[in-house]
C-alpha cells in the first residue's frame, strides 16, 4: 500500500503517521525527519537544506526528490510506505508519479487532513517529542501520562524543533498555501484524494484514517 498524508504543518501528519506505521506495518517516510537528520549530521544535503528550513521555506525539489528516490529503493519499502511531508509541490508529485510508474507501483490514496489555519500556530508552538523514541507530545493537547516521562520508552529527555516558532510557522503556512495546496486538485483529478477532519481529537482522526484505509483493501 502506498499512502500520502497531506496537510498543513501542525495538521497532525507525524502523529497519525506513527500510528499508521504501527497498526498497518507501513514504513513512515518523513522528508522533514530525514532533512533534520541530515542537518544534524552536517551532510552535504543537510548543509544545503539548513537555511531554507530555518526560514520556514521549502527545500529545493531536487534535494527532496533525490532523498525519496533513494529511500524507496530500500528493503523495508518493498511492501509499501506512507509518505509524510512529501510531495509538497506539483513538481515533486510529478516526480513521484514517474518513480512509481518505473517500478510499476500505484498510489493507493492521498489522505488530506483538513485543519483551520487558526488552530495551527497553537498546535505547532506547543509540540515536542521524546529525544529517544520520537514519540510526539503537546503542552496542552497531548501530555505524557506521567509529567516529564515518555509514555512509550520512559525517557525524561524531550526536544522541540528549531522551526516550531511563531515567525517560522507563518512562513511555513504561506508555503503550504502557495506551493502545496495545488496538490489537492492534482490528486482530486486522479480520483485518489480522501479528506478527513483534522480538527477532531487525535483518536477520532485515527479512526477516520483507518476507515479510509479499510475501504481501500
Instruction: Note the residues at the interface with ligand AMP (CB under 6 A).
Output: 9, 31-32, 35, 52-53, 56-59, 64, 85-88, 92, 163, 172
CA distance 91 to 209: 26
CB of 217 to ligand AMP, least distance (A): 27
Instruction: Answer yes or no: 50 catalytic.
Output: no
What DSSP character marks residue 193?
E
Cell numbers at residue 92, please? 515533486
| Sheet with 2-6, side-by-side order of all strands | 27-30, 81-84, 2-6, 109-114, 193-197
Question: Which residue, 58 or 196, has its beta carbon nearer to ligand AMP?
Answer: 58
Residue number with CB closer to ligand AMP (17 or 196): 17
- Nearest residue to 193 via CA among 115, 110, 113: 110
Helix intervals (H) in the chain: 13-24, 31-40, 44-54, 61-71, 90-102, 117-125, 166-175, 183-190, 202-214
- With contact defined as beta carbons under 8 Å apart, do 86 and 35 qualify? no
Q: Which residue is nearest to ligand AMP (CB)?
A: 32
Beta carbon of residue 62, minimum distance to ligand AMP (angstroms, whole number): 10
Of the candidates 32, 63, 59, the one whose C-alpha atom is nearest the C-alpha of residue 164 is: 32
Q: Is 127 a catalytic residue?
A: yes
Distance CA 78, CA 60 (A): 27
In the complex, least distance from residue 151 CB atom to ligand AMP, rounded to whole angstroms: 22
Whether residue 13 lies in the annotated active site: yes
Nearer to ligand AMP, 46 or 87 (CB): 87
Q: Spot the catalytic one: 78, 106, 160, 190.
A: 160
Residue 57 designated active-site: no
Which one is catalytic: 36, 88, 123, 194?
88
112 vs 163 by CB, closer to ligand AMP? 163
Q: Which of 13, 50, 123, 194 is catalytic?
A: 13
Q: How far is the CB of 147 from ligand AMP (least distance, A)?
A: 26
Catalytic residues: 13, 88, 127, 160, 172
Amino acid at each position: 500500500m502506498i499512502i500520502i498524508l497531506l496537510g498543513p504543518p501542525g495538521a497532525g501528519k507525524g502523529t497519525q503517521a506513527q500510528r499508521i506505521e504501527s497498526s498497518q506495518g507501513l514504513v513512515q517516510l518523513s522528508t522533514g525527519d530525514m532533512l533534520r537528520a541530515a542537518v544534524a549530521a552536517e551532510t552535504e544535503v543537510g548543509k544545503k537544506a539548513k537555511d531554507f528550513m530555518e526560514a520556514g521555506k521549502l527545500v529545493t525539489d531536487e534535494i527532496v526528490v533525490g532523498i525519496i528516490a533513494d529511500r524507496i529503493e530500500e528493503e523495508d519499502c518493498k511492501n509499501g510506505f506512507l509518505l509524510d511531508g512529501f510531495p509538497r509541490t506539483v513538481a515533486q508529485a510529478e516526480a513521484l508519479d514517474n518513480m512509481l510508474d518505473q517500478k510499476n507501483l500505484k498510489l493507493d490514496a492521498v489522505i488530506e487532513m483538513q485543519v483551520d489555519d487558526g488552530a495551527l500556530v497553537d498546535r505547532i508552538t506547543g509540540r515536542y517529542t521524546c529525544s529517544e523514541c520520537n514519540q510526539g507530545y503537546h503542552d496542552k493537547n497531548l501530555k505524557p501520562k506521567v509529567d516529564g516521562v515518555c509514555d512509550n520508552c520512559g525517557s525524561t529527555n524531550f526536544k522541540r524543533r528549531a522551526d516550531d516558532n511563531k515567525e517560522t510557522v507563518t512562513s511555513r503556512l504561506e508555503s503550504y498555501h502557495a506551493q502545496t495546496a495545488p496538490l489537492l486538485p492534482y490528486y482530486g483529478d486522479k480520483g485518489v484524494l480522501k479528506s478527513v477532519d483534522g480538527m477532531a481529537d487525535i483518536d477520532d482522526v485515527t479512526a477516520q484514517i483507518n476507515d479510509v484505509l479499510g475501504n481501500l483493501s
